[in-house]
Structure 1
Amino acid sequence: MSTHGFGFSFGNNDDDDDRENRDNQNQNPFGAFGFSGGGSGGLGDILNQFGHMLSGMGASLNSQKEGEPVNYDMAERIARQQTEHSPSVSPQQRAAVIDSVRLAELWLDDVTELPTAEGSVEAWNASDYLSRTLPMWKRMVTPVAKNMNEAQLASLPEEAREMMGPMLSMMNHMSGMSFGVQLGHALGELSTQALTGSDFGLPVAPTGVTAILPEHIDQIGKDLGINSRDVMVYISAREAARQRLFRHVPWLVERLVSSVEEYANGLVIDTSHIEEAARGLNIESGDPAQIQEAMQNLQNMDLSPTITSRNAAAAARLETLLALVEGWVEFVVTQAMGERIPATGALNEAWRRRRATGGSAEKAFARVVGIELNAPKVAEALELWRRVEVAVGTTKRDAVWEHPDFMPSAEDLDNSAEFIDGLLGEADGEDFDPISEIERLQREEAEKKESEGDSGDTPDEQGKEGDNS
C-alpha cells in the first residue's frame, strides 16, 4: 500500500527493468496484454513466447471456453494466488462499514437532490472484490481482447493469413492464455489495493451494491496518520455519492461501459513502420556489410506494432465522464463533511495525490482493460460544479445529470462560462411554456386579422371612394 494513502502501487519503482517495462506499456497501452514494445521485437520473440506457453499450457489450454478471447479461468486462478490469504471481514468491520455508510448518507442528504441508492451495503475483502467485480471486468475486457485479436489478424499479409488458417484455433487459444495471464496478475494486484466497489468512478461492483473494503481502509489511516474512523466515513461518503449517481442517472452506467466497448470496436494495428524497416535491409544488394549495418540499426528500433483506435473519441468521452463523476463526488462530499470532519481537506489532498502519481487509478485501469487514459480533469470538474451551484443552485446543478445532452463537454471543463450562461438562460425562462406561447401567438394573429376587418373598407373599396371624390 502506498505511503501516499490512496495509491495503487504496481511494480517496484526502484527496479530498472520494471521501469522500462512500464515505459513501454505507457507507449503501448496493450503492453499489459503481451503486445509490449522493445527493440528486439520480432518473429524470434514470438516463437519464444509460444514455446514458453506450450511448455506449460496443459489443462489450461482446455479451460478456455469456446468463443472467449480471454482464458478467464486462468486469469481468475492467477488472481486468486494473490488474494487467497486476505483476511476475512470481521463482524466488527462489517458493522463499522454499515454505520459509516449510514452516517455518510445522512450528511449527503443535506447537499444533493439525488436520493440514496437504496441498495445493499457490503463489506469486502480482496477475494470478495475479485469475485464480485469480475463479471463487469469481463464485459469491458472481452471486446478489447476480441478486437485486438481481429486487428492482429487483419494486419497480416493475405498469404500469411492463408498459411495460418489450419493453426488459427491454436493461435486463438494461445492469445487467450496470454491475455489471461496478464489479466490475472493485474486483477490480483488491484484486488489487494482497492478501497471500494468503484474506485475508478466505474461501476464494477454489482448493481445496487455499495461496497467498502475495511481492511485496506484501516491501512490507509495508518499511512496517513488520520483516525481510521474518519477515513472510513470519508471513503464511504465517496462511494455512497457515486452510487447515487449510478442509481438515479439511468444513462450513466451504460454510457461509461459502452465507451470502452466503442473504443475497442475501432482498434487497428499499423505495421507500416515494420515493413519500411524490412525494406531497409536491402537484402537484394547482396552486400554483407550493408546488410549487417541495417541489422544493427534494427536492433535500436521499436518494432512493436502501433495500436490505435478509429474511435479514439470514445476514450476522450470516457475521460470527461470520469472527471465529471469524480468532480461531483468530491464537491458534494466536501460540502457534506468539511465542517463535520476536520481531516476532510487532508483526505481530499491524499486522494488527489493518488491520481497524480505513477500508480494512479488510470494506470491500474490500463493494466486491467488495456486502454490508456489521461488523468481525468477532476479539479476542473470540481470547480465547474462549484460555479454551477453558485449560479443556479443545488437543484439545477443536479438536474444537469438528467440527460447526457445536458452534460458539460471536455471544452466546458477548461472554460465553464458558456455552459453556465446556458444554464442561467434556462433559469431565466424556467416559466416558459412553449404550448402556451404558440397559443398566445395564434390569438394575437387572429385578433390582428379581426381588427383589420373591423377597420371598415377593404383597400379596393377605399380606392373606389377616392376615385368618386
Structure 2
Amino acid sequence: MSNGFGFGFNFPNNGDNGDKDRDGNNQDPFGGGLGDILGQFGAMLSGMGSSMNSPDNSGPINTEMATRLAKQRLGTPKSVGPEDAKAVEQSVRLVELWLNDSTALPASNNKVAAWNAADWLDNTLPMWSRLAGPVAEHANSAQLDSLPEEAREMMGPMAQMMKQFSGMNAAMQLGTSLGDLAKQALTGADFGLPVSPAGTTAVVTTNVQSIASSIDVPDQEVMVYIAAREAARQRLFTQVPWLVEHIVSSVEEYALGLEIDTSHIEEATRELNLESGDPQAIQDAMSRLQGMDLTPRVTSRNAGATARLETLLALVEGWVDVVVYEALKDRIKYTTELAAAWSRRTNSGGSADHALSRVVGIEITAPAVDTAAELWRRVTVAVGTEKRDKSWDHPDLLPDSEQLRNPASFIDGLLDDQPTDGFEEELAKLEEMLRSEDEEGKDS
C-alpha cells in the first residue's frame, strides 16, 4: 500500500513578491500593489490580442484570458471513452442505493457525467470566476485606496486602464491555478466546494485512473469510493437549498472587508535611515532592503466570514466521511484503506483551503475535517441518522466552531429536543381522544 493517492498539489509561485503561506506560495494572488501591476504591463499585453477589448474583460476578471491560459497550462488531456462513462454511470447508480442506508437525505437524481480534465475546467470555471470575482474586485479597490490621495488624483484617467490591468492580472492567476487544478481534481465538487453545475454528479475518470494505478487497491473499488463521496456531496448541495449560497456569500463577505496593510513597509523604511546622507549607510540599507518583503498585505475586516466558511467546509466533508464509510464498510473490502488514503491526500494539499488560496485568493485555515467527522459519528450514535441529518435543515441548527471542538454540547442540545419516553404514545392517545369528542359533538 502506498502513502496515499499518489499526488499532492503543486501550485505555481508566480513571482517572488507577496506574503508566503505555509507552503511558501504567495498569499496575495493579485500582485504586490500598484508598482507590481505596472511592472507586469509588458508581459500581460504580450500575446493578449483581442482580450483587452473582449466583453469578458468588463468584470473584475478577464475570463476569456483565464480560460485560454488554463487550457494552455492543461494541454490536451486524454478523452473519455464509452467504457469510462459506463463505469461512472454504474458506480454512481450503485452507491446511491448504498447511501440510502446511511443518510436520511434522498438521492440528488442528478445527471451523471464522466469528465476529463478539460471538461472539469469548462464546467467549473463559471463558479470559480464567481467566487474569485468579488475578491479580485475588492482587492483592486483596496490597492487604490491604499495610495496617497495625491497619487490617486494624478492617476485620474488611468483608473479604468488600471482596472483592466488588474482584471488581466487576476485572470493570469485564475487561469494558471485552474490549469494545474484540473489535472488533479477527481470529481465535479472536489474539496467539498460546490463548483460543478447544479444537477450534475461528475467523476474525472482520467484523473481517477492515474491515482488508482499508484495504490494497491483494485481500480473498481477506487472508482466506487470516489463516486460515493461525490454522490454524498451532491445530496447535500441538492437537498440542502441554502448550502451553496451560504458558501458563496461567505466568500463575498470576506471580499467586502478587504484592506491593504502597508504599515510594515513604512516601519522598515524608517529603520533604514535613508536620509542620513552617508553613502556607505545608504548602500548597506539598500542591501538590507533587497532581503525584505515590501509587498502590501491583504487582510479582511470580516474575519468572521472565513471562520464560518472553515467550519461549514469541515462539516460538509466530515459528514461525507461518515456517510460514505457507513455505506461502504461492509460492501467493499478496502473501505478503511481508501478512507485513510483520502485523508492523506487531503492533508498533503488536496483540500479546500489550498484551492481557495490559490484560485480565489482567500487564506483560510485547513478545515478540521477529522474533527467534524468525529462529531458526526458521535451524533449518529446518540440520536440516529434521521435526527443527525435534520441538522442541515437550517444553518442555525448546525454546530458552530466551538461545538465542533466540543461535540458534547451540540449532542446535549439534540438530546434535549428528543421527546421523553412514552411522550409520543401519550400524545397520540390525546389526539385520538380529542377526535372522538369532536365526532360525538357533531353527531349530537
**Structure 1 residues 121 and 22, CA gap change in structure 2 (3 angstroms):** farther
Please tell me whether the aligned partners of residues 263 and 309 of structure 1 are also in contact (alpha carbons under 8 angstroms): yes
CA apart distance, 1:415: 1.0
Paired amino acid for 1:124: W
Quote the Cα distance in structure 2 between the aligned partners of 1:281 and 1:193.
45
**Structure 1 residues 6 and 151, CA gap change in structure 2 (3 angstroms):** farther
Quote the Cα distance in structure 1 between the aligned partners of 2:224 and 2:406.
33
Structure 2 equivalent of residue 24 of structure 1? 20
Quote the Cα distance in structure 2 between the aligned partners of 1:50 and 1:324.
43
The reply on whether 1:416 has 2:412 as its aligned counterpart is no
CA apart distance, 1:252: 0.9
**Structure 1 residues 8 and 199, CA gap change in structure 2 (3 angstroms):** farther
Task: Determine helix, strand or coil for the equivalent of 1:212.
Answer: strand
CA apart distance, 1:241: 0.5
**Structure 1 residues 65 and 23, CA gap change in structure 2 (3 angstroms):** closer
Structure 2 equivalent of residue 9 of structure 1? 9
TM-score by length of 1: 0.84
Structure 2 equivalent of residue 287 of structure 1? 278
Quote the Cα distance in structure 2 between the aligned partners of 1:394 and 1:19.
49
Quote the Cα distance in structure 2 between the aligned partners of 1:244 and 1:131.
23
CA apart distance, 1:359: 5.6
Structure 2 equivalent of residue 221 of structure 1? 212
Quote the Cα distance in structure 2 between the aligned partners of 1:395 and 1:357.
33
Structure 2 equivalent of residue 35 of structure 1? 32
Structure 2 equivalent of residue 461 of structure 1? none
CA apart distance, 1:371: 0.8
RMSD (Å), alpha carbons = 2.6
CA apart distance, 1:88: 1.8
CA apart distance, 1:169: 1.8
Match of 1:67 among 38, 58, 73: 58
Cα distance per residue 1:154-176 (max 9 Å; x no partner) = 00000000111121122112111
Please tell me whether the aligned partners of residues 8 and 361 of structure 1 are also in contact (alpha carbons under 8 angstroms): no
**Structure 1 residues 346 and 21, CA gap change in structure 2 (3 angstroms):** farther
**Structure 1 residues 7 and 403, CA gap change in structure 2 (3 angstroms):** farther
Quote the Cα distance in structure 1 between the aligned partners of 2:400 and 2:285.
48
CA apart distance, 1:284: 4.3
Paired amino acid for 2:32: F
The reply on whether 1:158 has 2:154 as its aligned counterpart is no
Quote the Cα distance in structure 2 between the aligned partners of 1:18 and 1:372.
17
**Structure 1 residues 3 and 20, CA gap change in structure 2 (3 angstroms):** farther
Quote the Cα distance in structure 1 between the aligned partners of 2:18 and 2:293.
15
The reply on whether 1:115 has 2:106 as its aligned counterpart is yes
Paired amino acid for 2:403: D
Please tell me whether the aligned partners of residues 8 and 364 of structure 1 are also in contact (alpha carbons under 8 angstroms): no
Please tell me whether the aligned partners of residues 268 and 307 of structure 1 are also in contact (alpha carbons under 8 angstroms): yes
Quote the Cα distance in structure 2 between the aligned partners of 1:360 and 1:417.
27
Quote the Cα distance in structure 2 between the aligned partners of 1:333 and 1:359.
18
Match of 1:321 among 312, 315, 327: 312
Quote the Cα distance in structure 1 between the aligned partners of 2:421 and 2:398.
18
CA apart distance, 1:25: 4.7
Match of 2:182 among 187, 191, 197: 191
Q: Tell which structure's C-alpha radius of gyration is larger.
A: 1
Quote the Cα distance in structure 2 between the aligned partners of 1:47 and 1:253.
37
Once the two structures are overlaid, the 10-residue window that deviates more, 250-259 or 166-175, is 166-175
Gaps of 5+ in 1: 37-41, 437-469
Match of 1:97 among 71, 88, 99: 88
Quote the Cα distance in structure 1 between the aligned partners of 2:332 and 2:19.
40
Task: Determine helix, strand or coil for the equivalent of 1:204.
Answer: coil
Task: Determine helix, strand or coil for the equivalent of 2:133.
Answer: helix
Structure 2 equivalent of residue 466 of structure 1? none
Paired amino acid for 1:214: T
Q: How many residues are matched?
A: 423
Cα distance per residue 1:140-198 (max 9 Å; x no partner) = 01101000000000000000001111211221121111111111111111112111011
Structure 1 equivalent of residue 438 of structure 2? none
Match of 1:179 among 170, 181, 202: 170
Paired amino acid for 1:91: P
Quote the Cα distance in structure 2 between the aligned partners of 1:165 and 1:28.
33
CA apart distance, 1:221: 1.3
CA apart distance, 1:291: 2.9
**Structure 1 residues 279 and 23, CA gap change in structure 2 (3 angstroms):** closer
Structure 2 equivalent of residue 49 of structure 1? 40
Cα distance per residue 1:348-375 (max 9 Å; x no partner) = 1111111211464421331111112211
CA apart distance, 1:58: 3.9
**Structure 1 residues 21 and 93, CA gap change in structure 2 (3 angstroms):** farther
Quote the Cα distance in structure 1 between the aligned partners of 2:133 and 2:37.
23
Paired amino acid for 1:5: F
Structure 2 equivalent of residue 459 of structure 1? none
CA apart distance, 1:432: 8.0
Paired amino acid for 1:34: G
CA apart distance, 1:208: 1.3
Please tell me whether the aligned partners of residues 64 and 176 of structure 1 are also in contact (alpha carbons under 8 angstroms): no
CA apart distance, 1:409: 0.8
Please tell me whether the aligned partners of residues 28 and 306 of structure 1 are also in contact (alpha carbons under 8 angstroms): no
Please tell me whether the aligned partners of residues 29 and 372 of structure 1 are also in contact (alpha carbons under 8 angstroms): no
Quote the Cα distance in structure 1 between the aligned partners of 2:170 and 2:400.
34
Q: How is 1:278-427 mapped onto 2 (pairs within 5 angstroms)?
A: 278-358=269-349, 360-427=351-418
Gaps of 5+ in 2: 428-444
Please tell me whether the aligned partners of residues 229 and 320 of structure 2 are also in contact (alpha carbons under 8 angstroms): yes
Paired amino acid for 2:116: N
